[in-house]
Amino acid sequence: MHSELSLLESLHLLAIEDKKGHFLANAIAFPYCLGGAILLELSILNKIEVVENKIIVKNHRLPNDELLSKLFSLILKKQKPKSLRYWIEIFGNKSREIKRASVESLISKGILAKKDSKILWFIPNTKFPTLNPIPELNLRKRLTSIIKKDNSGSAKDIMLISLVDTCNLNIEVYGKEQSKLHKKAIKELLTNNQQLAKVGKTVKEIHDLIIVLIVVMMTTTTVTTS
């Protein structure tokens, strides 16, 4: 993964169409994936753990990242631990704020540009086309290399591959043909989770629970709204 990009920034970068700058991610799935990404970032930083499906704070010191710090503060303010699902939903409901912060960070790094326009002359329409394609190209190559087993990758890399898969972004990230070819390899990679196991039982458990929960929540929401 690009050393200057967080898990959240990487997920956003892959979810935005390069030329036109609009979001490709499914509107129902992506907020849950963002909530999951936040919790995964916090678990990697050793800030949280899961005990009996409840999020427990391990380290009260705020992260250096402004957005993570703000969201982690919400967890710290609760007198009683809340469930993993509760926090995925809470952070998912803040998806607009999370997206804005991540996109602004990518703009500040010179990776994305901001393009304002109007639909029918009065409806604001903001897009974020790619300004510097190198970080995303390197990211895609790295993920593909890991899937092909040319590279073992890091725990963050595996988490990103997992979130991309869960958010149904495989076609957008790898292309239609390659996505089909990678399908079995991605499943095997995520089943083994060797890199996640290396960073600790807590991180692996949080990852596995989050992915299962996101799929359940997406399914429930789809059935409810259809």
Note the helical H segments in the chain: 7-15, 29-44, 66-77, 84-93, 95-108, 134-147, 155-166, 170-174, 176-192, 194-198, 201-225
The pLDDT value given to residue 198: 67
The pLDDT value given to residue 2: 43
Residue 119 belongs to a domain: yes
Q: Which of 37-51, 70-84, 122-136, 187-201 has the highest mean pLDDT?
A: 70-84
Asked if 93 and 34 touch (Cβ cutoff 8 Å), the reply is no
C-alpha span between 219 and 28 (Å, rounded): 10
Higher pLDDT: 219 or 70? It is: 70
Could you give the 3-state DSSP secondary structure of residue 152?
A: coil
Domain CATH code at residue 62: 1.10.3630.10
Residue 15 belongs to a domain: yes
pLDDT confidence bin for 100, thresholds 50/70/90: very high
pLDDT single digits (tens) 173-207: 999 899 988 988 888 887 776 666 666 666 677 77
pLDDT single digits (tens) 129-143: 999 999 999 999 999
The pLDDT value given to residue 62: 96
> Which phi and psi angles does 109 have, rounded to 5°?
-90, 0
pLDDT single digits (tens) 16-41: 999 998 888 878 888 888 998 999 89
Residue 188 belongs to a domain: yes
Residue 177 belongs to a domain: yes
Residue 2 belongs to a domain: no
The pLDDT value given to residue 6: 92
Q: What is the DSSP letter of 18?
A: T
Q: Which domain holds residue 51?
A: 7-225
The pLDDT value given to residue 1: 44
Higher pLDDT: 222 or 154? It is: 154
CA-based max dimension of the chain: 54
Residue 1 belongs to a domain: no
Which residue type occupies 37? Answer: A
Please state, as a whole number, how many other Cβ atoms lie within 10 Å of the Cβ of residue 108: 9
Token digits of residue 182: 């990678």
Residue 146 belongs to a domain: yes
What's the number of domains the chain is made of?
A: 1
Q: Which of 17-31, 91-105, 118-132 has the highest mean pLDDT?
A: 91-105
* Residue 97 predicted with pLDDT over 90: yes
C-alpha span between 116 and 68 (Å, rounded): 27
The pLDDT value given to residue 191: 77
Asked if 28 and 218 touch (Cβ cutoff 8 Å), the reply is yes
Residue 42 belongs to a domain: yes
The CA–CA distances, whole Å, from 126 to 31, 50, 100 equal 19, 38, 11
The pLDDT value given to residue 69: 96
